[in-house]
Amino acid sequence: MQSMAKNVESVNRPAKLTIMNTLAFIYKENGIKGLYRGVTPRIGLGIWQTICMVSLADYVKIWCVWLTFLLNLYLIILFRVKGK
């Protein structure tokens, strides 16, 4: 949507940027495809993010528990060695 940036002047650009004026401008410039440009990549990004969050959340949780266990084990061993 770089053509609608505030600093860019365009002959066909509406003077007042409302939702309806912007939709009409995009439709006139690019047609119906212009209204849906970017929807497919955004849906793909949403799917990818959901897959990562759902599938990797359990692994990260297990990794954090395992790391905490190892750290606690290390501290127990360290203090037992120092105590002797």
Name the nearest CA neighbour of 34 among 7, 70, 1: 1
The predicted pLDDT at position 17 comes to 85
Q: In angstroms, what is the C-alpha Rg of the chain?
A: 27
Report pLDDT digits (tens) over 40-63.
888 999 999 999 888 888 899 999
From residue 48, how far is each of 1, 21, 56 by CA, in Å? 23, 33, 12
Which pLDDT band holds residue 69 (cuts at 50, 70, 90)?
very high
| 11: three-class secondary structure by DSSP | coil
